[in-house]
Amino acid sequence: MTDLCGVRLAGPILNGSGTFDAIAARRAFGDALLERFPFHAFVSKTITLAPREGNPPPRLWETPAGLINSIGLPNKGLEGFLAHDLPELAELPVPLVVSVMGFSRDELAELVQRVGQRDEVALIELNVSCPNVETGLVMGADPAETARAVERVRPLTDRPLIVKLTPNANDPAAVAVAAEEAGADAVSLINTLKGMALDPRTRQPWLGGATGGVSGPAVRAVALEQVAAVAAAVEIPAIGMGGIASGRHASDFLSAGAACVAVGTESFRDPAAGLRIAAELGELATV
Ligand SMILES: Cc1cc2nc3c(=O)[nH]c(=O)nc-3n(C[C@H](O)[C@H](O)[C@H](O)COP(=O)(O)O)c2cc1C
């Protein structure tokens, strides 16, 4: 058993937000998905207050060891999520983490308050990798901005708050410390690294959003360093992710100080990757 902020999990493996569509998987695999669910807690894809269509296509570019995505957070918005997705996600056999993003502190506050009222939700993850329209600063890139966001929402819910850190910050450990001091219960990292690819023919950006986020094995060494630095700087648990594709990788992140790990891009290659990684991790533990 793993304890994450007082929530009991059957093991330490989560999914990275936005990398496993449990509702589509349930449609494809039926109740077999519930019997052999790949993760010990499920993190929803990030929702915003208003519905979003996401970025124009193309949205993905494959790098030699990973992906660049420019999905742009398409989602039904808060009301659509609460009415349609939450009841389906509540049927999953593991605790539910809902990921939220606000483009201002007011938006973030409304999301946290409304999501936190729902019994189906065990924890809330704050995706702060976006610009605050009021200040122009990327919330999670700046310790003071992150602290102000967490301080604003902390009194609004009794659910544990996870702050998802961006690797595109000068000092992720300083952001983590600011989040902890402002009342965060955990941090998760890394989100994607900024990246870009050109269309080989037109020499223009390939992705509809021009730039995107790099994930997968290509970022694992960067992620491991940031997880080690953050875990050493804070007392609260760190959820480590970035290119985890095997039990050995998961074990590396746990040894670097992570309390839990998350599997992201690898689930696109193999939707059951979480199960395999958990089994491999178990074998390593018994050696
Ligand atoms: C296609 C795609 C969509 C993603 N969507 C989200 C999202 O909605 N919210 C979020 O916080 N992170 C999102 N991420 C980032 C992942 O959760 C994770 O932090 C990152 O990909 C690093 O882990 P990985 O290398 O194992 O994929 C997304 C990543 C990918 C590849």
CB 179 within 8 A of CB 188: no
Q: Which amino acid is at 151?
A: E
Burial 250-282 (b: 16+ CB within 10 A, else e): bbbbbebbbbbbbbbbbbeeebebbbbbbebbe
264 lines ligand 1 (CB under 6 A): yes
Q: Are 115 and 152 in contact (CB under 8 A)?
A: no
Instruction: Using DSSP, state whether 73 is helix, strand or coil.
Output: coil
Q: Could you tell me the strand order of the sheet in which 211-215 lies?
A: 60-63, 66-69, 211-215, 193-196
How does strand 7-9 pair with strand 2-4? antiparallel
Phi, psi of 153 (to 5 degrees): -95, -20
Q: Which of 42, 70, 73, 191 to mutate to test the pocket of ligand 1 (most atoms within 8 A of CB)?
A: 191
Q: Is the CB of 48 under 6 A from ligand 1?
A: no
195 in Cβ contact with 136 (< 8 Å): no
Per the CB < 8 A criterion, the answer to whether 224 and 252 are in contact is yes
Measured between alpha carbons, how far is residue 279 from residues 9, 102, 148, 173, 275 in Å? 16, 36, 40, 31, 6
Question: N- to C-terminal Cα distance for the chain?
Answer: 19
Closest by CA to 185, choosing from 128, 239, 120, 110, is 239
Q: Is the CB of 216 under 6 A from ligand 1?
A: yes
Instruction: Locate the ligand 1 atom nearest the alpha carbon of residue 73 and give its number.
Output: 8
Q: How much is the pTM? A: 0.97
CA 67 to chain centre: 16
Compute the distance from residue 268 Cα to the ligand 1 centre, in Å. Answer: 11
Per-residue pLDDT of the chain (287 residues; tens, 9 = 90+): 999 999 999 999 999 999 999 999 999 999 999 999 999 999 999 999 999 999 999 999 999 999 999 999 999 999 999 999 999 999 999 999 999 999 999 999 999 999 999 999 999 999 998 777 777 778 999 999 999 999 999 999 999 999 999 999 999 999 999 999 999 999 999 999 999 999 999 999 999 999 999 999 999 999 999 999 999 999 999 999 999 999 999 999 999 999 999 999 999 999 999 999 999 999 997 76
